[in-house]
Amino acid sequence: MKVENSRSKQPLADFLSGSLRIGDRTDLEDFLARPGSAKRVRNVPYQDLFLAIKAVGLADSQELLLLATLEQRRGFIDLDCWRKDSFHRPSFMEWMAAYLQCGPEEAAVAARAVDPNLLALFLKDNIRIHMLETDEPLPELPLFLTPDQRFGIEVPGEADAATVARLLLDVIFRMDASLGYDLIDRVHWDNQVSMEEEAYQNKRLRLEEIGFVDYYEALSIYGEVGTTAAPRHPVALEEEDAQRVSSTLPALLVASLAPGEHLWRALGAIRDTRRAELISQQLAALANRILSVHSVTTGDLEKVKPALEEMRDTLNLGLERLTQGRAALAASALEQHDMLGLFRTGFSLLGDLRAEADGVIHRGRLRLEGAQQTLLESPQSEFLDGLRRHRPLFFEGVRDSRRAGYRNFRGLADVESAQRKLNEIETLGQIFWSLVAGPGPELKLEALRQVNRRLDDLRFGTLFVTATLNHVLGKPFRPEPIGVRQFQGVLKNLAPPGADPRQLADGLRSVARKRLASLRAEKDSLEVLNPFVESWCRAGAAELAPLRGESEIVPQWVTTVLLNLSRER
């Protein structure tokens, strides 16, 4: 991701001054041609160098691999060779193979940098150790002998992993025999589970120093605060800590910003170099925690991007809330708050929406007793589900039926839109139960035990069409299950013979309008319900029209009407 090539983002250059800004092989060649590039590589936090290598590609980054320090080389393995608490051997093999291609000396340096437990775990999968006796002949096997000929090492197979293991052993015993013997002992005597656990704990402690904390600890970034909380002034980092904190992740974040966003404006207004460095460090620490929450491996740039976009959008939301939408005040707000405080301010708005969504389910009586799912259809159902996640998301289908994806809340306009939609859904529930004039969600569970739809499959539309057909039968307008024979009869009475779905929908709509006319409801509430009634009538007619005149109906195939399956009905 290149930032310096975009004029629109040039005001943010101060935030990239410490970044390597290497996005491809051309960038790497330009960087290496500059004076002092080797020193910059050795002084940069290892996660910055790691992401540069991943962006260019491991196979094309040999110059950076050669310049990396022991700490950086160990950091590459920490960041890329674990999947949660499990050692990922394929990634480890790729890094070792890359250093083997750099030459035996560099491979030996990399081997010294790596936790020996990981080397032993990799070798344990690919070698067999034979303890040799001086007075006995050697086994008739292709063995690699240790310098003292006490051990014979068999490397079975010709797979890539076996080849890397064979080359590593040769390099290690030639360059650092003491490490080789230590690995032999570990492979032969140590338990695989205990080695992996010890290596994981060591890795975890190292990553905690740069903000990659335990998942549950990382969740603390979502601690919600009141939107009127007092400003939190930025906290300075100790020099030693500042050396460890990455600035590349904020560079990736900056690359995702668009001119006009509150965060973009605020960052662009910062001109003090030390202040820019501090903000970068705070952004990096926050980003590392978000990656921990998402359980994202830092080298997986495709997954890093959406995690950073969540951070960007939540920070934008926090800034917009604090400035009441006045972009000119964004820089001042950034001066008065640290990044974590801004993030929590933004997230607290989403937390309020989540709590409101839970309240709407209760007040709108959107869920039947004993059901897990609500009575809402798409897209309202997906919209509500998105809000009720721990990290609420906006369902785009409520604005555009052609879109069915979730995305982050990108500003106060999204929050206000969601609040309006929640009010509409609550009104829908309340006016619906007034319409059916029945017991509402207190529907007796016994009546739903022998019906064609599971409790969790019931939706408002099914209850509405059922109530309409009951009314045609001369019963109260209630969603009580209908017997199959009665169902066949009412279909004939709802519209004339040969009627198409449109005429059948008119029949359903006519019954519904009479019922609506009898309600003493406010005009605004009825206007909320009308589009849904129209949709339910069309859906019901589309399914029921082909069933008219059928001698036999399979109740389980009917989705828009509640049918009683008991024999006497």
- pLDDT, mean of residues 279-303: 85
Q: How many domains does the chain have?
A: 4
Of 295, 320, 346, which one is at a domain's C-terminal end? 346
Query: Higher pLDDT residue, 546 or 69?
Result: 69
- pLDDT of 5 > 60? The answer is no
Most confident region among 198-202, 217-221, 247-251 by mean pLDDT? 198-202
What whole-number percentage of the chain has pLDDT above 90?
Answer: 51
Three-state DSSP class for residue 137: coil
Q: Is residue 430 part of a domain?
A: yes
- pLDDT, mean of residues 393-413: 92
- pLDDT, mean of residues 511-524: 79
**CB–CB of 280/250 below 8 Å?**
yes
- pLDDT, mean of residues 118-139: 90
- pLDDT of 110 > 90? The answer is yes
- pLDDT, mean of residues 161-177: 95
pLDDT given for residue 41 in this prediction = 95
pLDDT given for residue 79 in this prediction = 92
Q: Is residue 445 part of a domain?
A: yes
- pLDDT of 226 > 80? The answer is no
Distance CA 207, CA 186 (A): 24
**Exposure string (b/e) for 18-35, b if CB count within 10 Å is 16 or more?**
bbbbbbeeebbeebeeee
Most confident region among 146-160, 169-183, 208-222, 240-254 by mean pLDDT? 169-183
Per-residue pLDDT band at 103 (split at 50, 70, 90) = very high
pLDDT given for residue 311 in this prediction = 93
pLDDT given for residue 247 in this prediction = 66
Lowest-confidence region among 267-281, 359-373, 433-447: 433-447
pLDDT given for residue 228 in this prediction = 41
- pLDDT of 215 > 90? The answer is no
Residues 510 and 484 in one domain: yes
pLDDT given for residue 299 in this prediction = 78
pLDDT given for residue 437 in this prediction = 62
Residues 472 and 560 in one domain: yes
- pLDDT of 118 > 90? The answer is yes
Q: How many CB atoms lie within 10 A of CB 268?
A: 21
pLDDT given for residue 415 in this prediction = 96
Q: Which residue has the tokens 């926050």?
A: 286
Q: Is residue 1 part of a domain?
A: no
Q: Is residue 20 part of a domain?
A: no
Of 401, 434, 467, which one is at a domain's C-terminal end? 434
pLDDT given for residue 216 in this prediction = 79
Instruction: Choose among 335, 293, 325, 78: nearest CA to 207.
Output: 78
Residue pLDDT, tens place only, 408-417:
999 999 999 9
**CB–CB of 168/97 below 8 Å?**
no
Q: Is residue 490 part of a domain?
A: yes
Of 321, 346, 371, which one is at a domain's C-terminal end? 346
pLDDT given for residue 227 in this prediction = 41
pLDDT given for residue 405 in this prediction = 93
Residues 340 and 353 in one domain: no
- The CA-CA-CA angle for residues 80, 85, 90, to 5°, reads 40
Residues 415 and 507 in one domain: no
Residue pLDDT, tens place only, 248-281:
777 778 878 887 788 888 888 888 888 888 888 8
Q: Is residue 57 part of a domain?
A: no
Mean residue pLDDT of the chain comes to 86
Instruction: Choose among 304, 448, 270: nearest CA to 369.
Output: 448
Per-residue pLDDT band at 445 (split at 50, 70, 90) = low
Residues 311 and 297 in one domain: yes
- pLDDT, mean of residues 469-475: 90
- pLDDT of 236 > 60? The answer is no
Residues 140 and 225 in one domain: no
Residues 100 and 133 in one domain: yes
- pLDDT, mean of residues 444-454: 79
pLDDT given for residue 245 in this prediction = 62
pLDDT given for residue 444 in this prediction = 64
Residues 320 and 357 in one domain: no
Most confident region among 6-15, 258-267, 410-419, 515-524 by mean pLDDT? 410-419
Residues 276 and 325 in one domain: yes
pLDDT given for residue 71 in this prediction = 95
Q: Give DSSP secondary structure letters for 417-480.
A: HHHHHHHHHHHHHHHHHHHHTS-GGG--GGGGTTBSS-GGG--HHHHHHHHHHHHHTTS-S---
- pLDDT, mean of residues 543-548: 86
Backbone dihedral angles phi then psi of residue 395, each to the nearest 5 degrees = -90, 115
Domain that holds residue 172: 88-192
Please tell me what DSSP assigns to residue 568. T
- pLDDT, mean of residues 217-243: 55
Residues 167 and 235 in one domain: no
Residues 247 and 158 in one domain: no
Query: Higher pLDDT residue, 163 or 326?
Result: 163
Lowest-confidence region among 11-15, 198-202, 232-236, 281-285: 232-236
Residues 226 and 164 in one domain: no
- Indicate the pTM of the whole model: 0.80
Q: Is residue 532 part of a domain?
A: yes
Q: Is the peptide bond before 379 cis (omega within 30 degrees of 0)?
A: yes
Q: Is residue 15 part of a domain?
A: no
pLDDT given for residue 568 in this prediction = 47
- pLDDT of 8 > 90? The answer is no
Per-residue pLDDT band at 562 (split at 50, 70, 90) = very high
- pLDDT of 229 > 50? The answer is no
Per-residue pLDDT band at 224 (split at 50, 70, 90) = low
Dihedral of the alpha carbons of 327, 329, 335, 338, in degrees to the nearest 10: -60
